[in-house]
Amino acid sequence: MISLPEINNILANNDPAFLEGLALKSRTVTRQYFGRAVSLYAPLYLSNYCSSHCTYCGFNNKNRIARIRLNTQQMHTEMKAVADTGIENILLLTGESYKATPLTYLKEATMIAKKYFADISMEVHPMETAEYRELFLMGVDGITVYQETYNRKRYSEVHLAGKKSDYDYRRDTPQRAARSGMRHISLGILLGLSETAGDLFSLYGHLCWMEKHFPGVEYSLSFPRLRKIKGRSFAICNISDLDLIKILCLSRVLFPRVGLNLSTRETPLLRDHALELGITRISAGSNTSVGGYQLKPAGEQEPQFDIEDRRSVEEIVRYLKSRDFDPVFTDWRAIENSV
Which residues bind to ligand SF4, rule: CB under 6 A? 50, 52, 54, 57, 59-60, 95-96, 164
44 DSSP β-pair partners: 92
CB of 110 to ligand SF4, least distance (A): 20
CB of 10 to ligand SF4, least distance (A): 29
The radius of gyration computed from the CA coordinates of the chain, to the nearest angstrom, equals: 19
CB of 320 to ligand SF4, least distance (A): 30
Nearer to ligand SF4, 93 or 254 (CB): 93
CB of 288 to ligand SF4, least distance (A): 11
Nearer to ligand SF4, 96 or 272 (CB): 96
CA distance 105 to 65: 22
CB of 51 to ligand SF4, least distance (A): 8
Asked if 119 and 139 count as a contact pair (C-beta separation under 8 A), the reply is: no
Nearer to ligand SF4, 26 or 304 (CB): 304
Nearer to ligand SF4, 96 or 309 (CB): 96
CB of 217 to ligand SF4, least distance (A): 23
CB of 268 to ligand SF4, least distance (A): 25
Burial class from Cβ neighbours inside 10 Å (0-12, 13-18, 19+) for residue 335 reads exposed
Nearer to ligand SF4, 59 or 132 (CB): 59
Which contacts qualify for 76-82: CB closer than 8 Å, 24 or more apart? 76/112, 77/294, 77/295, 78/44, 78/291, 78/293, 78/294, 78/295, 79/44, 79/112, 79/113, 79/115, 79/116, 79/117, 80/116, 80/294, 81/293, 81/294, 82/42, 82/44, 82/116, 82/285, 82/293
Nearer to ligand SF4, 64 or 212 (CB): 64
DSSP track, 151-171: -HHHHHHHEEESGGG-HHHHH
Phi, psi at 274, each rounded to 5° = -65, -30
Length of the chain: 339
| Angle at the Cα of 150 from the Cα atoms of 57 and 252, rounded to 5 degrees | 95
Nearer to ligand SF4, 234 or 325 (CB): 234
